[in-house]
Structure 1
Amino acid sequence: MADPDWTLWRSFLAVLRTGSLSQAAKQLALTQPTLGRHISLLETSLGAVLFTRSNDGLRPTEAALSLRDQAETMAAAADLLTRIASGEAESMEGLIRLTTSEFMGVAVLPPLLAAFRVRHPKIDIDLVMSDRNLDLLRGDADLAVRNVAPAQEALLVRKIGESPVRLFAHRDYAVRHGLPKSLGALQSHALIGRDDYARRVPAFAGLTLRFGFASMSDVALLAALRAGMGIGACQQGVANADPSLLPVLPEVTIVQLPVWMAMHEDRRGLRRLRLLFDHLAEGLKAYLAGSN
């Protein structure tokens, strides 16, 4: 058997995603024996074993995993064809799932998304904030704003620019403790951040820094900075919008944080996704332009 049709690939992808024949059959509204036959036919066609049984369900083989990205691309293309056929491609309403980091989702994107909703009130946005990169090929999200370059193929990727991260302190902290005049003077101040991050900053090499407040959450670190708990790093653009934050050693740039946008290339045919992609790209460029 050559050239297995999409039905077999769809069944393969459902089993790969769920790890279970019964769950995949339920998802596709098929019987379990039918789904099992689909997998057997595909294995015969490819001449490869795709799944092995284990105590916790079906485990994909290396052959199955090597096919995953292309199968996800086929699924996205099939979904897009259905949407185009139904007229959804040019629709100005519907849901967009946007993923970004916790910090970007709280401190940077809200005004841009608010402006978009004013222009397009029938387009709904589901914002997924996570420092884990969701899989666009698998359909976990429609659009992504990230601080690392997406590594997957079949993505439409654009680097928007870089956001400088520098040191700041709240006015109340400056009144109580003053501000350091040199990097060495930082050692006598309470800092906000994480020691593991500080060790990777070349400017801090050889310094013994005391972190009075630490957290794994970048949003919590920003809240501590705004509460006057110490000196901390912040994106320049966010600090510029907060008059209570004062620059500390402004000549020192902790890092240039890249900003990337990505979406599945097969979904650029959906007008509402293009609209949000272009809107965010324009808004983020303006945000970064005011950060230098």
Structure 2
Amino acid sequence: MTIDNTTEIGWELYRSFLGVMDAGSLSAAARAMGMAQPTVGRHVVSLEKALGVTLFTRSQTGLLPTEAALALQPLAQAMQRAAAALQRAAKSQSSGIQGTVRVTASEVIGQEVLPPLLAQLQDTYPDLTVELVLTSRVQDLLQREADIAVRMTQPRQEQLIARRVGVIPLGLHAHKRYLKKHGTPASLADLAQHALIGFDEETPFVRAARKAFPIWSRENFALRTDNDMAQMALIRAGYGIGVCQVNLAARDPNLVNILPGNIPLSLETWITMHEDLRNNPSCKVTFDALLTGLKSYMAS
């Protein structure tokens, strides 16, 4: 690999490179980025020349990334996250609460719990923009993938500000329609006679849950899905018995808490952000609003 050290590589070249990696063709990348296709093509060619590598090969289905492109992609993505974080920080430095704050949370918390909290925040600070990223993957706050994270595990990095919100109790729930048809379990042993909804892939939480609650194992599930919202939808549809947040299920009068107090499962909840953002007014009000709102949800 021969790199042209006399050429300073601009960020726009990497941006176009990532656009083509995501879209698979110059035309699709150009449309997604709002650029002209020849411009995207020139950027890719210029980056290849500056780095001394071939990034894409042509095929009948579009452009295929080379090994060099695949190796460079995570580094370029880190640059992209840093550029986005820089823009968010710059927009939030003027007086008043404004600019963009990027928040990440699980799908259940993000879809079922946060919307009213964020709506109230927007009413109070109409110039504040929130980007909400819903994923079960732990977003890296140190790499500025997000500004604030709602996590179900205690963060260990010293550079993060972390506040423990509390513990969200979990319980077994089923729709009244399912229980009317199949009966209500009177003991943990009775669960073996019912359609259980659970996970497909093992995670640290699932392994820990199985140790405390042995029947909650993959081979006993009548339906398996790793999507928490899908599990919630299946419980609401009357498919079977599944685990969900007690506070959330209590909102639906058709859901019944099965064997309350006998399920040793809970989610310890934390809100975190990078310590560099402690003096950022927009991040601070968002952090405080989420902390207050989640504590209220747990107390409901």
TM-score, normalized by the shorter chain, greater than 0.5: yes
Q: Does 1:193 align with 2:197?
A: yes
The normalised TM-score by structure 2 is 0.63
The Cα offsets for residues 53-88 of structure 1, whole Å up to 9 and x where unpaired, read as 222222222222222233233234444555666x55
Structure 1 alignment gaps of length 5 or more = none
Count of residue correspondences: 279
Deviation at 1:121, TM superposition (A): 3.7
Equivalence for 2:48: 43
Please say if residues 198 and 221 of structure 2, whose CA atoms lie closer than 8 Å, have aligned partners that are also in contact.
no
Is the 1:181–1:249 Cα contact (8 Å) retained in structure 2?
A: no
Q: Does structure 1 retain, via aligned residues, the 8 Å contact 2:171–2:244? A: yes
- 1:187 and 1:210 in contact (8 A); partners too: no
Paired residues of 1:261 and 1:281 also in contact (CA < 8 A): yes
Quote the residue 1:7 is aligned against: 12
Q: Which residue pairs with 1:237 in the alignment?
A: 247
TM-score with structure 1 setting the length:
0.64
Query: 1:220: which partner in 2?
Result: 233
Quote the offset at 1:214 in angstroms. Answer: 8.7
Q: 1:49 to 1:210 in 2, by over 3 A?
A: closer
- Shift of residue 186, structure 1, vs aligned partner: 3.0
C-alpha displacement of 1:180: 4.2
Q: Paired residue for 2:68?
A: 63
The separation in 2 between residues aligned to 1:260 and 1:41, in whole angstroms, is 45
- Relative to 1, partners in 2 of residues 1:96 and 1:239: Cα closer, same or farther, differing over 3 Å? same
Matched letter for residue 282 of structure 2:
R
| Closer/same/farther in 2, CA of residues 170 and 30 from structure 1, 3 Å limit | closer
Match of 1:110 among 98, 108, 115: 115
**Alpha-carbon distance in structure 2 between the residues aligned to 1:74 and 1:251:** 48
SS of 2:9's partner is: coil
User: Is the alpha carbon distance of 1:77 and 1:233 closer, same or farther for their aligned partners in structure 2, counting shifts above 3 Å?
Assistant: closer
Compute the displacement of 1:181 (Å).
4.3
Given that 2:85 and 2:144 are in contact with CA atoms closer than 8 Å, whether structure 1 keeps it comes out as no
Match of 1:20 among 25, 35, 39: 25
Asked whether 1:250 is paired with 2:255, we answer no
Post-superposition offset of 1:272: 3.5
The alpha carbon displacement at 1:20 in A equals: 2.0
- Asked whether the equivalents of residues 143 and 262 of structure 1 are also in contact (C-alpha less than 8 Å), the reply is yes
Select which of 13, 25, 29 maps to 2:35.
29
Task: Answer yes or no: is 1:52 the counterpart of 2:52.
Answer: no
Q: List alignment gaps of at least 5 residues for structure 2.
A: none
Question: Residues of 2 paired with 1:58 and 1:71: CA distance?
Answer: 18
Per-residue CA shift, 1:124-153, capped at 9, x if unaligned? 556566768899999998766466899xxx
Q: 1:8 to 1:69 in 2, by over 3 A?
A: same
SS of equivalent to 2:187: coil
SS of aligned partner of 1:193:
strand
Whether the 8 Å contact between 2:20 and 2:29 is mirrored in structure 1 is yes
Distance 1:39 1:115, change over 3 A: closer
State how far apart, in whole Å, the 2-side matches of 1:84 and 1:143 are.
13
| Paired AA for residue 22 in structure 1 | S
Per the alignment, do residues 105 and 18 of structure 1 end up closer, same or farther by CA in structure 2, a change over 3 Å counting? same
Q: Tell me the SS of whatever aligns to 2:263.
A: coil
Distance in 2 between the 1:82 and 1:210 partners? 46
1:231 is displaced (CA, Å) by: 4.8
| Secondary structure at the counterpart of residue 65 of structure 1 | helix
Pair 1:280-2:290 in alignment: yes
Deviations 1:39-62 (A, max 9, x none): 333223323222222222222222
SS in 1 for 2:63: strand
8 A contact 1:163–1:258 mirrored in 2: yes
Measured after TM superposition, the shift of residue 256 of structure 1 is 3.8
Indicate conservation of the 8 Å contact 1:183/1:204, yes or no.
no
